[in-house]
Each structure stands twice: as structure tokens, then as C-alpha cells.
A = this chain, B = another copy of it.
Amino acid sequence: MKNYNFERKASDLLALLGNPFRIQIILTIGEGEACVCHLETALNKRQAYISQHLMALRDGGILETRREGKYIFYRLSNPKVFELIRAAGLLAGVQEKDLPMLQIPLQVNKCVCPYCEGEIPMFEKKLHSVVPENE
């Protein structure tokens, strides 16, 4: 990995992000953090499936984790990945107004994670305060 050439490094990163579900995960986490079970209810997919993608994203350096008791919270390791995704959307013809914005994870109905249960105040979820720049 260390001595991969530029094309390889860049394309690995791009390929990692080149999956709609992984993008969904990233958009859901946004500038906050989320545990697996939160994503499970928010995205309505099986736990194992989510874990697999989270692992891939973490191995690729896109996500970082924090353990708190039995929960493991995932967050973006660098808010620039968000800008990269937005830039890709623009290149793909998405209108400026239809681009996603960085936001904290939304409370989800059936979710019982500490955030959705209100055990951690919402504002503490906001880890990145970067607002994607407009041209």
C-alpha cells in the first residue's frame, strides 16, 4: 500500500466511494457520528451488511471509530470526503441545489441507540463544523 503509485492510491479511494450504499452511510453520518444499530434502523439494512461496508470504509481511512461501552460510533475521519462526494455529484450533473449538506444524524424512530434515546444531547454529535464551500 505504501509504495502504490498515485493512480492506484487515488483509484482505490475513488472505488471505495463508488458504491451507492457506502455513500448513503457517509451522508447519514454526516458531521456527527453513528453506531451500527443507528444505521441499521436509519438505512433499513441488516447489521452484518452495514458492518461490512463500515469495515471497508474504515480500512480505507474514510471512517474512524470510537468505542463507548457496547456501542461503537463511526465518524468521518476527514470532512473533505464529503466535499469529494459533492464534487462527484456536480460532475455527474446533479444541480447545486440538489446536493446533500453535511448535517448531524437524524433521530430515528425505532432506534434505541444512546443518541436516539436522548442520552447524548444532539449538539454533541456535531464533530465537523465545516460547511462545504460554494464556488
Contact = CB atoms under 8 A, between A and B. Distances in A.
A36 interface: no
B91 A84 contact: yes
B93 A10 contact: no
Interface residues of A, number: 41
Contact of A61 (B17, B83, B93): B93
Q: Count copies of this chain in the complex.
A: 2
A88 to B, nearest CB: 4
B20 A18 contact: no
A115 to B, nearest CB: 22
A6 interface: yes
A47 interface: no
Given A81-B91, A84-B88, A11 B19 contact: yes
Contact of A87 (B5, B21, B87, B93): B87
A80 interface: yes
A9 interface: yes
A92 B13 CA distance: 6
A11 B15 contact: no
A27 to B, nearest CB: 7
Contacts of A15: 14-15, 18-19
A7 B100 CA distance: 9
